[in-house]
Chain A
Amino acid sequence: MAARRPDVPRATADPPAVRRALIAIALTFLALFLFIPLIAVFAEALGKGVGQYFAAITSSESLAAIRLTLMTAAIAVPLNVSFGLTAAWAIARFEFPGKQLLITVIDLPFSVSPVIAGMLFVLLLGIRTPIGGWLDDHNVRIIFAEPGIVLATIFVTFPFAARELIPIMQSVGSEEEQAAIVLGASGWQSFLRVTIPNVKWGLLYGMVLCNSRAMGEFGAVSVVSGHIRGHTNTMPLYVEILYNDYQFAAAFAVSSLLTMLAVATLVAKYFLERRVAPQVRLAAENQDVMEAAA
């Protein structure tokens, strides 16, 4: 019979008081910096009534901003996803000189301030530069027009898909693809039926992140937009304009749409993350099994 040992604090557990205090602090922070502002956005947006709220988000300028935002994301996200797939494929499957450099350069947009990214395009394509002058002679408008906004968005969202896909592809390995080829699949079939299903959750996760940044970007698009009402304002830019126009309820109404997007992104992120982690683990296990068999 073991004598009951007196309660001694174990090294691996903090006293309950500390635990409670830490949880309380974390929750207070969340409430102060997240929940209260979130509620405030909706409270302000609906401050002048539901009718005003819908009038604000269905005004022609709001709809134009929503349309431009959706269009920008619809172009930027697929482009970045296909780039991400290509880059991840190249990095995970092949050895080539400059590979490390490529991995580093993909991250460049993360380390450059978005405003600088916007300035880069003005300095490159502004009408007084050689390229900009040539484009102007041919009546092509890039900056201070929709294409500039799309370009700037592609630049800032560049790394999202690639960053997600590279580690997954690396851990999945190429054995299954090799098996598919041996069994007679064409390259395209093996890509669609083996590679894509293997990385799909990571791919979706990258898309969600890329999309939310594409829709929410402010700094870079602000520099190249020209702020023409009803034409070159994305939703975040339009929120600023409404705010400066003293139309607060309308500004918060459009903000609330962006907030809902953010919440939807969070939910999607939560579920996708639960899918991505097992996928990586499973792939690693498969690899071990295969290596053991070989």
Chain B
Amino acid sequence: MLNRQLLMHRLMTKWLLAAALAAASLTPSGYARAASQTLLNVSYDPTRELYQEYSAAFAKYWKAKTGTQVTINQSNGGSGKQARAVIDGLDADVVTLGLAYDIDAIADKAKLLPEDWQKRLPDDSSPYTSTIVLLVRAGNPKSIHDWNDLVKPGISVITPNPKTSGGARWNFLAAWGYELRKSGGDEHKARNFVATLYRNVPVLDSGARGSTTTFVERGIGDVLIAWENEALMALKEFGTGKFEIVVPSVSVLAEPPVAWLDRNTARHQTTDLAKAYLQYLYSPEGQEIIAHNFYRPRSKEVAAKYAKVFPELPLFTVDQQFGGWRSAQKKFFDDGGVFDQIYQPVK
């Protein structure tokens, strides 16, 4: 009995010692900033691969230019969810989100950057664009060719939740815009069209990547409404033999914006670094990485080089069709808005 007791004592002491050591080796992340610079990029869901590649390239460029070692940390999630986290205190230096309204919300609610942030960088602070396309299973078994095929009975459509995902809001507006233009501006028809479409949606994931894995890996649904970059990425990852992209007759020009958050960068003393990080997106090398990761580059030269990847199609903008993101958000996606009125979960 005594022996066992002794053993227990030793065991406990050892364990507590290990715990104390582990706790002591923990250094608060804040102290690391002084030695080499650190930047946190809070981004939306499908940019995982883009910013991993871009950040590595930028770190190299910055080291060559200034001699400073820079580490860029990255967080990905549904665009609206990420904006929410930044508003609640996620300590981002730059945000690269799915749509302008999510950065507006950060400016409005948390005052981390000025309201006119979108004018600070070229092209309305959107260094790349994309659009919304349809991804179907190989051979297109349900013969889906355009938006109006998505409202047919028995078609199962996968798209994320517009409350949390940026891509989902672009998807919604693309479908709405298609019907609105087809019916010559009949709001009522557009509303019915989109309501019917959402009745075909069995599951709403919180972000675009979640929807892609639902469609691609869990094998749910006949068609995925997706960012063009996300659809091209899925083809690259899973091979062209399993899925194909259907380019609709018309879609929306998606302009995912970027911004630095003045209040946070001032505190971290990273304002210059954050600006440089975003400006470099517009450089030839930045644009090349963008195109290579299936986002449409702004640069004409790079775009010409990748013309085969990105098909031409008529694109309308949110400003033209809906009078900007603030009014679109208010009308369609805020609490009690059109989406809340038309969406009923599939029983």
Q: Which residues of A contact B (CB under 8 A)?
A: 70-71, 74-75, 77-78, 122, 125-128, 132, 136, 139, 141, 143-146, 193, 196-197, 200, 226-231, 241, 243-246
Contact = CB atoms under 8 A, between A and B. Distances in A.
B40 interface: yes
Question: Which of B22, B74, B88, B110 has most A Cβ within 10 Å?
Answer: B88
Given A145-B91, A229-B75, 11 more contacts: A71-B22, A78-B19, A125-B89, A127-B89, A128-B89, A132-B88, A144-B85, A144-B88, A146-B28, A229-B73, A230-B73
Interface in B60-96: 73-77, 85, 87-91
Nearest to B1: A197
By CB atoms of chain B within 10 A, which of A70, A74, A226 has the most? A226
Nearest to B8: A200
A74 B30 contact: no
A78 B40 CA distance: 32
Contacts, number: 84
A244 B210 contact: yes
B346 interface: no
Contact of A139 (B73, B77, B237, B267): B267
Contact of A143 (B28, B40, B88): B88
B8 A70 contact: no
Contacts of B85: 144, 226
12 contacts: A127-B87, A128-B87, A139-B30, A197-B8, A226-B42, A229-B73, A230-B73, A231-B73, A243-B213, A244-B210, A245-B48, A246-B237
A197 B5 contact: yes
Given A75-B19, A128-B87, A144-B85, A228 B8 contact: no
Nearest to B11: A204
B18 interface: yes
A181 to B, nearest CB: 19
Given A197-B5, A197-B8, A146 B75 contact: no
Nearest to B209: A244
Contacts of A245: 48-49
A72 to B, nearest CB: 10
A201 B52 CA distance: 48
A257 to B, nearest CB: 17
B89 A229 contact: no
B203 to A, nearest CB: 16
A74 B23 contact: yes
B16 to A, nearest CB: 7
Contacts of B320: none
Interface bin, chain B: 35 or more
Nearest to B4: A197
A78 B19 CA distance: 8
Nearest to A192: B9
A70 B23 CA distance: 10
B26 interface: yes
A226 B237 CA distance: 26
Nearest to A244: B209
A228 B5 contact: no
B29 interface: yes
Contacts of B19: 74-75, 77-78
Contacts of B25: 71
A196 B5 CA distance: 10
Interface in B259-299: 267
B89 A228 contact: no
Return the 8 tightest CB-CB contacts between A and B, nearest first: A127-B89, A126-B88, A74-B22, A74-B19, A144-B90, A226-B90, A227-B75, A228-B75
B73 A128 contact: no
Given A71-B23, A146-B29, A127 B48 contact: no
Contacts of A141: 28-30, 89, 91
Nearest to B32: A231
Contacts of A244: 45, 48, 76, 209-210, 213
Nearest to B267: A139
Contacts of B237: 246
B50 to A, nearest CB: 12
Interface string B43-57: 001001100000000
B75 A126 contact: no
A193 B74 CA distance: 51
A132 B89 contact: yes
Contacts of B109: 128
B5 A143 contact: no
B26 A228 contact: no
A125 B87 CA distance: 12
Nearest to B48: A245
B75 A226 contact: yes
A228 B110 contact: no
Given A197-B5, A197-B8, A144 B89 contact: yes
B89 A143 contact: yes
A136 B91 CA distance: 10
B259 to A, nearest CB: 18
A231 to B, nearest CB: 6
Contacts of B40: 228
Contacts of A126: 88-89
